[in-house]
Chains A and B, each alone.
Chain A
């Protein structure tokens, strides 16, 4: 009468792994396990409890990958893959021969105690006004994040009507992260941005020209330890006309610092540029082409770039080198317009070479 006995399930560290130990076997069934090596596998199986509740016939699914071991009057299950925190597992004990239904004993892996501690630090662009053909946004987090949440936790809506802009973002599959999983790139649906393509003709731009659009990152976004964010983050943009022209460094204004100073070099753009590409799209060199050590960073609204040298500026000429793949917020680069109209007199894509702008620092009065 094995069903009268009480089995005890517990977690146990065994050979550096968390195992499941089952004690409390009746003497008769314990001896039954030992008669044949395969008896244990026939009599016992372990499944995630979800599987038993899914409606799928549990007799048709494989048991958890791992090994059952008899040890000191108990049975230990050593999993091939670690048990998952917060997941419930069920041990099925079949009567000899599996002629009757099994007994079920469940145990849940505990969740480690924790509290939300990760924040969304910023949403880029930061410009208040953006073109309707905005191509992408970036979300920066204070710690590593989990994949699988971007499609659910990032949304855009009209600020006035609070109406969510359905499918404004390209479904993030795959999600685009930096190596540390701290910066997420979200693309607005490029098929809706490109002129002439069916999605653009059918449903129009992802954003609404003339509206104020709010981008929201919800707290449900999970960090790498599966915790939600501390708080939601929002940023609003006024949406203006489409921006469709090649990025032309000739249209930028350079404000040079004074010779002998550690003043900032300021490059004022004619449009908001892509925040990420600004991080490495501009280089300051001396007259010999040697990079000047210092720190460059996007200015307000990504409409400027500021460079502070490590050593004072000298008297000679300097060069600003511009990477040809530098893009504005609408994906136009030095090389090409994002979607070029080949029937109009728009210049064809260029082959990529860095563009050079020369400047000298001002003399001290």
Chain B
């Protein structure tokens, strides 16, 4: 049995031992010293939690068939009662963490699950843990001058997070405005959120400029750039150097995914001295982009007619960054295995969910 204990000097990051009020669990990402960021979209809070994973062992690959059945058994429910929200790999131990909701409505139970390299399932206790938290506030309400009482209807739902050089980058979707806002939250948390929000636009084919919520994103090039995917399907590149508060940030659209095909997750990895990105979608196959191709790719200025001709199978795009399709089916979530490979959560045609690790050589 693996023993888990406090792994970090929690006071260095403003964490204090207590019991966080976790109403829901959503996107996950690891920060410094293995601190796990957990977005709670019901409570409108992001928690930073010391998961007590002090194992410095070599990251192990994780392979589990029928992971959802094992998880349902551990949590005492049927597979239909499970919602696996996100997945992240601990940067040192290689243990895999999942945000999971068991049940729904009043009976919904948020759980952080840990899967070790050997496939053992456990949960991270959310009582008496070292944690800190920041509220996802809504910038537009901050200086609302009105005196009348309004119903609290407005929310921001976090769709993805990444930690970059002392900043937690948070993409979210409002349940009202259709805007593209990337929050930059300094960590350790100090309450400074709104002043670091960015408005981000993308241009389609040099003709139509619009905003849209970012669905998923991944930093790459040593955190100099971000590749983001939108709810309206483009894949867009941004330079982090342009991220100055108050500045209108324009992204470079480098690829489109086509109709009825939502982007789900992105991951970066290095192989043979080159960096690559994987993008998984809910309809089309997993595809791979070489970062060097993004650098030389100009923004898309003409529509990709190959999608019009063969919308169901955009194997070789006529324009945009070159993409290589990979055979991995039903990929829902991906996470870097700390440089050695990529962990994929895959759903088969019968709806069963499996975990598979792939070496970078095999991708």
Contacts and interface: CB of A to CB of B under 8 A. Distances in A.
Contacts of B3: none
Contacts of A63: 73-74
B76 A48 contact: yes
Interface stretch (B55-63, B89-97, B188-196, B228-236): B228-236
Nearest to B85: A174
Main secondary structure of the interface of B (DSSP, over half): loop
Interface stretch (B4-12, B140-148, B266-274, B339-347): B140-148
B295 interface: no
A9 to B, nearest CB: 15
Interface residues of A, number: 87
Interface in B239-292: 248, 256-262, 282
B173 to A, nearest CB: 6
Interface in B202-235: 203-212, 231-234
Given A279-B151, A280-B144, A226 B259 contact: no
A43 interface: no
Contacts of B232: 189-191, 194, 197, 199
Given A190-B232, A276-B153, A65 B176 contact: no
Contacts of B308: 198, 201-202
Given A87-B76, A174-B173, A202 B311 contact: yes
B175 A185 contact: yes
A178 B155 contact: yes
Question: Which of A196, A226, A295 neighbours the largest number of chain B CB atoms within 10 Å of its CB?
Answer: A196
Contact of A342 (B77, B120, B203): B203
A285 B108 CA distance: 43
Given A84-B103, A280-B146, A191 B210 contact: no
A312 interface: no
A62 B69 CA distance: 9
Interface in B65-106: 66, 69-70, 72-79, 81, 83, 101-106
A199 B259 contact: yes
B303 interface: yes
A270 interface: no
A294 interface: yes
Question: How extensive is the interface on chain B, given as a class?
Answer: 35 or more
Interface string A24-68: 000000000000000000000001101100101000111111100
A178 B74 contact: no
Contacts of B79: 50, 54
A195 B231 CA distance: 15
A50 B78 contact: yes
Contacts of B261: 199
Contacts of B260: 167, 199, 203
Given A147-B104, A177-B155, A277-B176, A61 B259 contact: no
A277 B105 contact: no
A145 B105 contact: yes
Interface in A142-190: 144-148, 167, 170-171, 173-174, 176-180, 183, 185, 187, 189-190
Contact of B233 (A47, A48, A135, A191): A191
A283 interface: yes
Interface in A189-215: 189-192, 194-199, 201-203
Nearest to A200: B259
B259 A194 contact: no
Contacts of A102: none
B69 A56 contact: yes
A146 B80 CA distance: 14
Contacts of A341: 207-208
Contacts of A64: 73-76
B353 to A, nearest CB: 12
A80 interface: yes
Contacts of B81: 84, 87
Given A54-B69, A176-B173, A190 B178 contact: yes
Residue from B76, B81, B150 with most neighbouring chain A CB atoms (10 Å): B76
Contacts of A279: 150-151, 153
Contacts of A173: 262
A51 B69 contact: yes
Given A85-B107, A177-B155, A202 B207 contact: no
A84 B105 CA distance: 12
B105 A225 contact: yes
B124 to A, nearest CB: 12
B41 interface: yes
Closest 3 CB pairs of A and B: A224-B105, A146-B105, A199-B259
19 contacts: A48-B77, A50-B72, A50-B79, A51-B69, A56-B66, A84-B103, A146-B104, A178-B152, A190-B212, A194-B210, A197-B256, A202-B311, A224-B106, A226-B104, A274-B176, A276-B176, A293-B147, A333-B177, A339-B204
